[in-house]
């Protein structure tokens, strides 16, 4: 564990408190203290975001022992869902089919994802999976498993009492490093410990360090060129320490698990996430506070999270621009006038890189869904039952993988959707609480629901089946361990005999219903990662981004495609599509999320191309590359020492 990065600042004494003529820090002892409690409004806050490079591709490369420089893509049916960086050099991307990709690079290794085969007990890597779309269902378990090992490695690397780690998706993690950095600061600069006169509102002395060694980090240019000559303040030092911690975490992931990732380090989640995507693969980008505006100005605002969808479109129409710089001229009152108070303030802040969203360490899973679209359709209850076994196994393994049960959270309801022609039937029932929960139980409840559906007329052939669990509850049973959740068979049988069904329209739990109904403010637009992340892992692959995502559409997606929604009670906040249940709505928002991700990836590529072009042209003309259209990338740590500064290294 390297909780305390090496002491390697060369430093002179900090300015003594109250020394005349010495410049004081912009920050106070109170600000410093707020770091130790992860206060989200703390101006010295430091957040890291890690995103694995071409994640599924790396998992397959490590599993198969394929050298790093060999082009590889992960295949799902005829499409690609992950492409490694050597393969990207051939112009191969997620938009390609396997055939197109092989044309671009005949040596491409294309590994199909693992699949569950109808009737099998366990998923496996089947060499003939691509030809068996009718009988196989994609399993993302191998990637979930690795995701979990990565999480464990990250947590091991950070001091247990000072860490706050949020798994944001299968290959992304946010770290609130504030408390750890606070501890390092106090250790290294003991003069920061006690405010003079015991007054926390006193400003801190300036840091003793005058130049910071950012090592291999990509530094984003400061807003004002002159600012580079200013002495760093404590926010810069805090980011430097955080950056060293993040570098160590990445090194641990690489040495223990052989995976590379990219990272962003900044004052909040919004910026650190943009930072990790900025330079890939295997790079980390630091966005100093004085660089935020310059960094953001290079983006179209629609590339900022939560601004890619309907809200972004509304803003674009209202102000007739897509550029962050243009919108900086818009006052908060103007935003409020056009978009309402909450949304107006939120946009105004977001454009300025202000985000006080918490890094939340608890598991945020709200629902899980396992689904399969049948081509050709299936025609018997036996066939459907075989799929229910797979769904139950799939969901149960995810409950275990995501440590849901360890967090003493468990789902309260199960839903089964069945689609025949354009008609969708749904049944749901509660999952008994306070009793054990296992795969068999999940299967038995699902079977009960299926029996209810097939007791109706005309349910065959079936083109889509999906099973979901939702209504995750926190701490339902005090200190019960995982064993205490195992459900006894007779409990399941009792449930089977007397199911509490709800016909067609599934009533959402009260809290959820309220959220949907009240969604008039900014919540309307914010696709909460916490909910989308779950579903994103759930249906096979991610639909909605071109070739390869046609299997296992979520029920919501299938409805959208058919253009004939059934009974409607839930409206998508981003596109107004109408869903028949909260679960369907969740999986639909998931689809938006997947699209956003795909878009993000295109943007990254565009930036990379633009930067490469700009760099090439500036090399040719001997000019600075900062004037390119994308966000400015300064790049490397400035070589040599700035005026009047002594070079201090760290780590
Ligand atoms: P991303 O992080 O978006 O992409 P990536 O890790 O493959 O590549 P990058 O280096 O640019 O971060 O997605 C993580 C994994 O999620 C990806 O490896 C495969 C899966 N995924 C899909 O299956 N379909 C999709 O449309 C997207 C965007 C991701
Ligand atoms: Ca990634
Ligand atoms: Ca990602």
Which of 361, 389, 408 terminates a domain? The answer is 361
Distance of CA 640 to the CA centre of its chain: 37
Mean pLDDT of 513-522: 37
Asked whether residue 126 falls in the same domain as residue 63, the answer is yes
Assess if residue 226 is contained within a domain. Answer: no
Token pair 């007791």 is found at 455
Q: Please indicate, yes or no, whether residues 416 and 390 belong to a single structural domain of this protein.
A: yes
Residue 375 sits in the same domain as residue 313 = no
Ligand 1 geometric centre to CA of 28 (Å)? 41
Sheet containing 109-112: give its strands across. Answer: 79-83, 72-76, 109-112
Cα distances (angstroms) measured from residue 261 to each of 54, 257, 280: 9, 11, 8
Give me the phi and psi of 280, to 5 degrees please: -135, 155
pLDDT at 424 over 70: yes
356 and 379 share a domain? no
514 shares a domain with 459:
no
Ligand nearest to the CA of 82: 1
In a domain, 5, yes or no: no
Total structural domains in the chain?
4
Condensed to tens digits (0 to 9), the pLDDT of residues 196-222 reads 888 999 999 999 766 788 876 777 877
Is the pTM value of this prediction over 0.85? no
Tell me the best of 54, 63, 170 to mutate to test the pocket of ligand 1, counting ligand atoms within 8 Å of each CB and taking the most: 54
In order of 4, 161, 357, the CA distances from 179 in angstroms are: 12, 9, 16
Residue nearest atom 22 in ligand 1 by C-alpha distance: 81
Say which CATH number the domain at 113 has.
3.40.1170.60
Ligand 1 mean position, distance from CA 586 (Å) = 20
- Closest approach atom of ligand 1 to CA 172: 2
Residue nearest to ligand 1 atom 5, measured at CA: 54
Q: Are residues 454 and 508 in the same domain?
A: no
Which band of pLDDT confidence, cut at 50, 70 and 90, is reported for residue 434?
A: confident
Cα-Cα-Cα-Cα dihedral sign, residues 269, 286, 145, 541: positive
Q: How far is the CA of 478 from the centre of ligand 1 (A)?
A: 37
- Tell me, yes or no, whether 503 and 437 share the same domain: no
Q: Does residue 516 lie within any of the structural domains?
A: yes
CATH number of the domain that 385 lies in?
3.30.1490.100
Residues with CB under 6 A from ligand 1: 51-56, 81-82, 94, 170-171, 280-281, 541-542, 545, 594, 597-598, 601
Contacts of 164 (CB under 8 A, 6+ apart): 38, 175, 176, 179, 359, 361
Query: Is residue 282 domain-resident?
Result: no
Q: Are residues 379 and 354 in the same domain?
A: no
Of 343, 361, 379, the one marking the end of a domain is 361
| Spatial separation of the C-alpha atoms in residues 530 and 183, rounded to whole Å | 29
Q: pLDDT (tens digit, 9 = 90+) per residue, 579-614?
A: 555 556 655 655 555 555 444 444 444 445 545 555
Average pLDDT of the chain? 75
In a domain? residue 641: no
What distance in angstroms lies between residue 54's CA and the mean position of ligand 2's atoms?
5
Please state, in angstroms and rounded to a whole number, the distance separating the CA atoms of residues 173 and 147.
10
Give the model's confidence band at 10: pLDDT under 50 very low, under 70 low, under 90 confident, else very high.
very low
Q: What would the pLDDT profile of 40-71 be if each residue is shown by its tens digit?
A: 999 999 999 999 999 999 999 999 999 999 99
Q: Measured in angstroms, how far is the CA atom of residue 548 from the centroid of ligand 3? A: 18
> With bands split at pLDDT 50, 70 and 90, how would you rate the model's confidence at 152?
very high
Do 375 and 460 share a domain, yes or no? Answer: yes
Please tell me the least confidently modeled range out of 113-117, 142-146, 279-283, 515-519: 515-519
Instruction: Report the CATH number at residue 316.
Output: 1.10.150.20
- Choose the residue to mutate in 50, 56, 96 for probing ligand 1, maximizing ligand atoms within 8 Å of C-beta: 56
Same domain, 538 and 458: no
* Sequence-separated (6 or more) residues with CB below 8 Å from residue 619: none
Q: How far is the CA of 511 from the centre of ligand 3 (A)?
A: 29
Q: Which ligand is nearest to the CA of 169?
A: 3
Q: Is 547:79 a contact under the CB 8 Å cutoff?
A: yes
Ligand closest to CA 172: 3
Give me the sign of the Cα torsion angle 642, 645, 647, 651: negative
Of 589, 614, 639, the domain-final residue: 589
Are residues 392 and 346 both part of a single domain?
no
Of 175-189, 200-214, 442-456, 551-565, the range with the lowest mean pLDDT is 551-565
The number of the ligand 1 atom at minimal distance from the alpha carbon of 53 is 10
Task: List pLDDT tens digits, range 13-45.
Answer: 444 444 455 689 999 999 999 999 999 999 999
The answer to whether residues 426 and 459 belong to one domain is yes
**Looking at the domain assignment, is residue 256 inside a domain?**
no
- Position 381 pLDDT exceeds 90: yes
Residue 635 in tokens: 């790049």
Q: Containing domain of residue 304, as a range?
A: 298-361
Cα–Cα distance between 360 and 168 in angstroms, integer? Answer: 9
Q: Is residue 41 part of a domain?
A: no
Would you say 153 and 173 are in contact if contact means Cβ atoms under 8 Å apart? no
Ligand 3 midpoint to CA 183 (Å) = 30
Residue 249 in any domain: the answer is no
């Amino acid at each position: 564990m390297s909780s305390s990065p090496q002491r390697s600042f060369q430093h002179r004494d900090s300015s003594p408190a109250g020394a005349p003529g010495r410049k004081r820090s912009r920050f106070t002892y109170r600000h410093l203290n707020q770091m130790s409690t992860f206060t989200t409004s703390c101006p010295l806050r430091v957040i890291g975001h890690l995103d694995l490079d071409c994640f599924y591709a790396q998992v397959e490369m490590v599993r198969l022992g394929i050298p790093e420089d060999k082009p590889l893509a992960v295949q799902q049916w005829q499409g690609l869902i992950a492409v490694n960086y050597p393969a990207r050099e051939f112009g191969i991307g997620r938009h390609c089919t396997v055939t197109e990709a092989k044309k671009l690079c005949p040596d491409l290794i294309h590994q199909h994802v693992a699949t569950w085969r109808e009737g099998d007990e366990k998923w496996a890597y089947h060499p003939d999976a691509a030809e068996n779309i009718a009988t196989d269902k994609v399993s993302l378990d191998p990637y979930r498993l690795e995701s979990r090992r990565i999480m464990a490695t990250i947590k091991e690397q950070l001091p247990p009492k000072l860490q706050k780690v949020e798994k944001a998706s299968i290959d992304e993690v946010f770290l609130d490093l504030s408390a750890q950095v606070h501890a390092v600061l106090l250790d290294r600069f003991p003069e920061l410990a006690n405010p003079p006169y015991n007054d926390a509102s006193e400003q801190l002395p300036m840091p003793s360090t005058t130049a910071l060694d950012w090592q291999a980090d990509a530094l984003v240019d400061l807003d004002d060129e002159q600012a580079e000559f200013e002495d760093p303040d404590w926010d810069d030092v805090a980011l430097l320490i955080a950056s060293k911690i993040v570098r160590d975490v990445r090194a641990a992931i690489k040495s223990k698990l052989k995976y590379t990732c990219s990272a962003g380090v900044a004052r909040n989640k919004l910026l650190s996430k943009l930072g990790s995507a900025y330079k890939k693969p295997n790079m980390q980008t630091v966005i100093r506070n004085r660089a935020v505006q310059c960094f953001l100005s290079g983006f179209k605002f629609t590339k900022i999270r939560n601004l890619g969808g309907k809200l972004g479109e509304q803003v674009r129409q209202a102000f007739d621009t897509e550029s962050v710089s243009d919108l900086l001229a818009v006052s908060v009152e103007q935003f409020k006038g056009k978009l309402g108070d909450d949304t107006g303030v939120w946009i105004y802040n977001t454009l300025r890189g202000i985000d006080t969203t918490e890094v939340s360490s608890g598991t945020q899973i709200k629902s899980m869904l396992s689904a399969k679209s049948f081509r050709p359709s299936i025609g018997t209850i036996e066939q459907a039952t075989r799929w229910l076994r797979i769904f139950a196994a799939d969901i149960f393994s995810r409950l275990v993988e995501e440590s849901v049960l360890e967090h003493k959270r468990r789902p309260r309801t199960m839903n089964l959707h069945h689609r025949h022609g354009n008609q969708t039937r749904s049944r749901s029932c509660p999952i008994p609480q306070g009793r054990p929960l296992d795969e068999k139980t999940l299967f038995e409840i699902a079977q009960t629901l299926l029996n209810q559906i097939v007791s109706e007329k005309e349910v065959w052939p079936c083109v889509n089946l999906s099973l979901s669990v939702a209504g995750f509850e926190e701490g339902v049973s005090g200190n019960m361990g995982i064993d205490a959740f195992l459900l006894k068979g007779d409990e399941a049988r009792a449930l089977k005999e007397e199911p509490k069904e709800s016909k067609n329209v599934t009533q959402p739990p009260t809290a959820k219903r309220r959220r949907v109904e009240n969604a008039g403010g900014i919540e309307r637009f914010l696709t909460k990662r916490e909910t989308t992340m779950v579903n994103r892992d759930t249906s096979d692959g991610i639909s909605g981004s071109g070739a390869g995502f046609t299997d296992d559409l979520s029920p919501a997606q299938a409805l959208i495609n058919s253009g004939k929604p059934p009974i409607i009670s839930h409206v998508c906040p981003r596109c107004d599509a109408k869903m028949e249940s909260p679960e369907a709505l969740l999986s639909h928002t998931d689809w938006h999320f997947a699209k956003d991700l795909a878009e993000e990836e295109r943007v990254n590529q565009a930036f990379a191309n633009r930067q490469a072009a700009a760099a090439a042209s500036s090399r040719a003309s001997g000019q600075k590359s900062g004037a390119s259209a994308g966000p400015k990338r300064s790049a490397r740590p400035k070589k040599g020492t700035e005026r009047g500064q002594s070079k201090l290294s760290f780590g």
